[in-house]
Amino acid sequence: MAPSEAPSEAPSGTPEFSGWSCPVPLRDHPRVVMGHGGGGAMSAELVENVFAPAFGGPVLAALGDSAVLELGGARLAFSTDSYVVRPLFFPGGSIGDLAVNGTVNDLAMSGARAAYLSCGFILEEGVETAVVDRVARALGAAARAAGVEVATGDTKVVEAGHGDGVYVNTAGIGLVPAGVDIRPQRAVPGDVVIVSGEIGLHGVAIMSVREGLEFGVEIESDCAALGGLVDAMLAVTPDLHVLRDPTRGGLAAALNEIAAAAGVGVRVGERAIPVPPPVANACAVLGLDPMYVANEGKLVAFVPREHAEAVLAAMRAHPLGARAAVIGECVTEHPGMVVARTPLGGTRVVDLPLGEQLPRIC
Amino acid sequence: MAPSEAPSEAPSGTPEFSGWSCPVPLRDHPRVVMGHGGGGAMSAELVENVFAPAFGGPVLAALGDSAVLELGGARLAFSTDSYVVRPLFFPGGSIGDLAVNGTVNDLAMSGARAAYLSCGFILEEGVETAVVDRVARALGAAARAAGVEVATGDTKVVEAGHGDGVYVNTAGIGLVPAGVDIRPQRAVPGDVVIVSGEIGLHGVAIMSVREGLEFGVEIESDCAALGGLVDAMLAVTPDLHVLRDPTRGGLAAALNEIAAAAGVGVRVGERAIPVPPPVANACAVLGLDPMYVANEGKLVAFVPREHAEAVLAAMRAHPLGARAAVIGECVTEHPGMVVARTPLGGTRVVDLPLGEQLPRIC
């Protein structure tokens, strides 16, 4: 790789903004690097150049958090995630909570209420069975809290040095209610952009416990299942356009993916984005932007303007949406691009992150 | 642990044969060992003592290869497996082929034709992207061959030294045809036990390439998708009682699980079990029993006696069942136990294996 094409160059360095494109051709990455798992441009590049051509198929091509498909007359959402978070237990949750809530939330982002989960463990030889038990109990409790049943499972064991204690994969299925069609492509200019609460808590919680950093108060992950919140929003109108849970890559990645998928511009006001003081402090110390920090119990919604006020009210009436806020709008200008108004009145482009600021946060 | 309670003691050493019980209490395994992933008694112990209490739920309790559940009026089979096979590519297949065929086959064992797969990769930092690409292509090709669509996916990356190149999880969903109720509990005395072809090929193929052993001829894995074969059998009668693909733990584990789940005895004739000469030779050299060696393209069926001849004929007319054979019957004697008649006219108990003869074969 020529030095001038260093992979650390941000996506904004290219003239091309049309979504899943990436400035770093895969041929310049002969080996997988951590950033390929970060949920940003490098992950997208892997999907575009490797997985999509290999698997084909119209469903995968939609690239939402979950696939919506027809089977036996039922309209189902189907999604999977593997969980490799380090450490396994952190303030506000564990890999077991994440494994349920992450997949339940991916289904909820299609408007589906999760019904059944599969659960695959990859255990490392030598991990304490008490640790496995604690993870399993957390997973079971989270499933009961989310109203989803673990229906099928699998366990593999790999030799010491080929895992990291416990990896978990869950896949989930749920029913998509009639008349609901929620996907990134449906964002249209005029849509109001709402975030369900304070951002950055999960990433900062992981960071603080992993790096032994202290920011005055203990910061807890926001890890939670969003099915009930989405149900409350759908009760106002089935015509929600887009829902996305801003996990890896944070709010910035979620907004960029939506802008790219729908070919619209997104304009947000930095001041309108709820950032809790401990997250703001931690980000200031570490030189991070809260918009890029992962969340595990938040969603961003693109809502038709006529329904926005009622949807916002319904969100605020739900415990997981109490701090919901309008943060911006969908515009015709700068299609595929996310622009933020800074507190000083300027504007800046919010890029799709290349990788993840912190690996293995979920 | 007292020396007299060594975990290498076989399950037959206990007076208790009621299925998922295990002679080695989990408290004697404070840490996970390779055998917990072997699909035998130790895996069952982990399910019984850790996962089942943590997750609860009537569906998981059924413990079949796949769960059968109702959703939106559709009767679905749902299953998952993680694949950690070493090496990634082996004679007759790859981890990509396994990841499709293994899950497709688990669905087929409920009589369901796989419709959609999810696919989660855990990549190790530093693995060549060309290797990931080759795995993805193999997976895509296997999916097309099996008529199943990869609908949704996920990629995580872990640091070098915390994975082994590529781990893959797939979950699958498929429709169970009306009138079909195939599960281990349905085995009844009088059922004829049929195996779809020659056993032991997958395990011996992996062993030969991993250990650099040569047995005169190259032995190829039997890795294949069994949906079409099952369809051919269902065309004869929807009333197949049990189907099971004898993967980890081989034919011995599959028959023991069925005997235990249904509370019936199983009697097989060793001479009737098709063991190809290269597998027999390899097992003789290595001191293995072919009944314990893994298969990835075979099934064992428990069929009502009145349909057995027609089902066997339908299997033999299918390319994947050409060498199908009746190997035994289901009996009222010795409930929960599998007994084999030896070629010399004696009988022996075929135990549920404790772990797996060879780790990471799928």
Q: Say how many C-beta atoms besides its own lie within 10 A of residue A244's C-beta.
A: 26
CB-CB neighbors (< 8 A) of A29 in chain B: 129
- Give the minimum alpha-carbon distance from B270 to chain A in angstroms, rounded to a whole number: 30
Domain count, chain A: 3
Whether A211 and A235 map to the same domain: the answer is yes
Q: Using the beta-carbon criterion (under 8 Å), do B164 and A169 form an inter-chain contact?
A: no
Q: Using the beta-carbon criterion (under 8 Å), do A34 and B159 form an inter-chain contact?
A: yes
Whether B234 and B344 map to the same domain: the answer is yes
- pLDDT tops 90 at residue A212: no
Whether B132 and B251 map to the same domain: the answer is no
Question: By CA distance, what is B106's nearest residue in A?
Answer: A152
| pLDDT at residue B49, rounded to an integer | 87
Residues 268-307 of A with CB under 8 A from B: none
- pLDDT tops 50 at residue B21: no
Whether A54 and A72 map to the same domain: the answer is no
Q: Say how many C-beta atoms besides its own lie within 10 A of residue A30's C-beta.
A: 10
Average pLDDT over residues A68-85: 95
Q: Considering only the beta carbons, identify the residue of A69, A125, A167 that sits closest to B34.
A: A125
List of E strands, chain A: 67-71, 74-83, 89-90, 93-94, 113-124, 149-158, 166-175, 192-195, 242-244, 265-269, 300-303, 325-331, 338-341, 347-349
CB-CB neighbors (< 8 A) of B139 in chain A: 54-55
Report the residue of A169, A175, A248, A358 to disrupt the B interface, i.e. the one with the largest count of B CBs within 10 Å.
Answer: A169
A45, A60, A75 - which closes a domain? A60
| pLDDT at residue B225, rounded to an integer | 98
- Give the minimum alpha-carbon distance from B131 to chain A in angstroms, rounded to a whole number: 9
Whether A82 and A104 map to the same domain: the answer is yes
Quickly state the pLDDT bin for B277 (edges 50, 70, 90). Answer: very high
Domain range spanning residue B128?
Answer: 65-175
For residue A204, give every residue at least 6 positions away whose Cβ sits within 8 Å of its Cβ, in sequence order, or none. A215, A219, A278, A279, A282, A283, A293
Angle, CA of A138, A64 and A10, to the nearest 5°: 95
> What ipTM is given for this predicted complex?
0.91
Interchain contact A169–B (C-beta under 8 A): yes
In a domain, A168, yes or no: yes
Q: Distance (Å, rounded) from C-alpha B293 to C-alpha B215?
A: 16
- pLDDT tops 50 at residue B190: yes
Quickly state the pLDDT bin for A8 (edges 50, 70, 90). Answer: very low
- pLDDT tops 50 at residue A18: no
Quickly state the pLDDT bin for B4 (edges 50, 70, 90). Answer: very low
Angle, CA of B319, B350 and B181, to the nearest 5°: 50
Whether A205 and A135 map to the same domain: the answer is no
Nearest to B127 by CA among A32, A34, A360, A45: A32
Question: By CA distance, what is B140's nearest residue in A?
Answer: A55
| pLDDT at residue A172, rounded to an integer | 98
In a domain, B357, yes or no: no
CB-CB neighbors (< 8 A) of B37 in chain A: 123, 155-158
In a domain, B52, yes or no: yes
Quickly state the pLDDT bin for B148 (edges 50, 70, 90). Answer: very high
Q: Using the beta-carbon criterion (under 8 Å), do B128 and A31 form an inter-chain contact?
A: yes
Question: A31 to each of A26, A28, B129, B159, B165, how far by Cα in Å?
Answer: 9, 9, 5, 12, 10
Q: Using the beta-carbon criterion (under 8 Å), do A57 and B149 form an inter-chain contact?
A: yes
- pLDDT tops 70 at residue B111: yes
Nearest to A96 by CA among A130, A119, A71: A119
Quickly state the pLDDT bin for B63 (edges 50, 70, 90). Answer: low
In a domain, A81, yes or no: yes
- Give me the numbers of helices (H) and strands (E) for chain A, helices first please: 10, 14
- Give the minimum alpha-carbon distance from B343 to chain A in angstroms, rounded to a whole number: 35
Q: Distance (Å, rounded) from C-alpha B124 to C-alpha B28?
A: 32
Residue whose pair of structure tokens reads 């008694």 in the numeric block:
B41
For residue B171, give every residue at least 6 positions away whose Cβ sits within 8 Å of its Cβ, in sequence order, or none. A80, A118, A120, A152, A169, A171, B78, B79, B80, B103, B117, B118
Average pLDDT over residues B195-212: 93
Q: Distance (Å, rounded) from C-alpha A232 to C-alpha A316?
A: 10
Interchain contact A28–B (C-beta under 8 A): no
Q: Considering only the beta carbons, identify the residue of A78, A127, A169 that sits closest to B32.
A: A127
Q: Distance (Å, rounded) from C-alpha B86 to C-alpha B131?
A: 14
Interchain contact A25–B (C-beta under 8 A): no
Is the preceding peptide bond at B304 cis, omega within 30 degrees of 0? Answer: no
A36, A60, A84 - which closes a domain? A60
Whether A90 and A27 map to the same domain: the answer is no
Mean pLDDT for all residues in chain B: 90
CB-CB neighbors (< 8 A) of B164 in chain A: 158, 162
Residues 106-165 of A with CB under 8 A from B: 115-116, 118-130, 132-133, 136-137, 139-140, 143-144, 149-159, 161-164
Average pLDDT over residues A137-147: 97
Q: What is the DSSP string of B203-244?
A: HHHHHHHHHT--BSBPPPP-----HHHHHHHHHH-S---EEE
Residue B89 and residue B134 in contact, taking contact as beta carbons nearer than 8 Å: yes
Q: Select the more confidently predicted residue: B355 or A308.
A: A308
Tally of residues, chain B: 362
We report the CATH number of the domain holding residue B286 as 3.90.650.10
Q: Distance (Å, rounded) from C-alpha B215 to C-alpha A145?
A: 54
Residue B198 and residue B324 in contact, taking contact as beta carbons nearer than 8 Å: no
In a domain, A240, yes or no: yes
- Give the minimum alpha-carbon distance from B346 to chain A in angstroms, rounded to a whole number: 36
Question: E strand or H helix at B260, and its extent?
Answer: helix B250-262
- Give the minimum alpha-carbon distance from A12 to chain B in angstroms, rounded to a whole number: 24
| pLDDT at residue B60, rounded to an integer | 60
- Give the minimum alpha-carbon distance from B90 to chain A in angstroms, rounded to a whole number: 18
Residue B278 and residue B290 in contact, taking contact as beta carbons nearer than 8 Å: no
Residue B36 and residue B355 in contact, taking contact as beta carbons nearer than 8 Å: yes
Q: Considering only the beta carbons, identify the residue of A116, A128, A144 that sits closest to B30.
A: A128
- For chain B, what percent of residues have pLDDT higher than 90? 77
Question: By CA distance, what is A164's nearest residue in B?
Answer: B162
Q: Using the beta-carbon criterion (under 8 Å), do A125 and B32 form an inter-chain contact?
A: yes
Whether A337 and A222 map to the same domain: the answer is yes
We report the CATH number of the domain holding residue B99 as 3.30.1330.10
CB-CB neighbors (< 8 A) of A116 in chain B: 59, 67, 69, 71, 78
Whether A247 and A338 map to the same domain: the answer is yes
- pLDDT tops 70 at residue B43: yes
Q: How many contacts, defined by CB atoms under 8 Å, are there between A and B?
A: 288
Interchain contact A175–B (C-beta under 8 A): yes
Q: Distance of alpha carbon A270 from its chain centroid, rounded?
A: 20
CB-CB neighbors (< 8 A) of B46 in chain A: 129, 132, 155
In a domain, B160, yes or no: yes
Q: Considering only the beta carbons, identify the residue of B56, B80, B157 that sits closest to A153.
A: B80
Nearest to A101 by CA among A247, A198, A226, A232: A226
Tally of residues, chain A: 362
Nearest to A18 by CA among A229, A259, A210, A188: A259
Quickly state the pLDDT bin for B356 (edges 50, 70, 90). Answer: confident
pLDDT tens sequence across A21-63? 334 455 578 899 998 988 888 888 888 889 989 998 665 655 5
- For chain B, what percent of residues have pLDDT higher than 70? 90
Q: Which residue type, as a one-letter code, is found at position B252?
A: A
Nearest to A120 by CA among B131, B362, B22, B247: B362
Question: By CA distance, what is A137's nearest residue in B?
Answer: B54
CB-CB neighbors (< 8 A) of B132 in chain A: 32, 46, 50
In a domain, A356, yes or no: no
For residue B347, give every residue at least 6 positions away whose Cβ sits within 8 Å of its Cβ, in sequence order, or none. B339, B340, B341
Q: Select the more confidently predicted residue: B152 or B4.
A: B152
Whether A200 and A97 map to the same domain: the answer is no
Q: Considering only the beta carbons, identify the residue of A32, A35, A156 that sits closest to B37.
A: A156
In a domain, B106, yes or no: yes
Q: Distance (Å, rounded) from C-alpha B14 to C-alpha B21?
A: 10
Q: Distance (Å, rounded) from C-alpha A327 to C-alpha A126?
A: 47
Whether A214 and A246 map to the same domain: the answer is yes
For residue A283, give every residue at least 6 positions away whose Cβ sits within 8 Å of its Cβ, in sequence order, or none. A200, A204, A275, A289, A290, A293
- pLDDT tops 70 at residue B314: yes
Return the DSSP state at A51. Answer: I
The bridge status of strand B347-349 relative to strand B325-331 is unpaired
Whether B20 and B75 map to the same domain: the answer is no
Q: Poorest-confidence range of A58-67, A179-188, A210-219, A319-328?
A: A58-67
A143, A175, A207 - which closes a domain? A175
Question: By CA distance, what is B157's nearest residue in A?
Answer: A37
| pLDDT at residue B29, rounded to an integer | 80
Return the DSSP state at B33. Answer: -
For residue B126, give every residue at least 6 positions away whose Cβ sits within 8 Å of its Cβ, in sequence order, or none. A31, A32, A33, B160
Q: Say how many C-beta atoms besides its own lie within 10 A of residue B120's C-beta.
A: 26
Quickly state the pLDDT bin for A354 (edges 50, 70, 90). Answer: confident
Report the residue of A80, A137, A148, A354 to disrupt the B interface, i.e. the one with the largest count of B CBs within 10 Å.
Answer: A80
- pLDDT tops 60 at residue B3: no
B324's tokens: 């199908």
Complete edge-to-edge strand list for the sheet that includes strand A74-83: A67-71, A74-83, A166-175, A113-124, A149-158
Q: Distance (Å, rounded) from C-alpha B90 to C-alpha B340?
A: 32
Residues 49-78 of A with CB under 8 A from B: 50-51, 54-57, 59-60, 66-67, 69, 71-76, 78
CB-CB neighbors (< 8 A) of B249 in chain A: none
CB-CB neighbors (< 8 A) of B71 in chain A: 74, 76, 115-116, 173-175
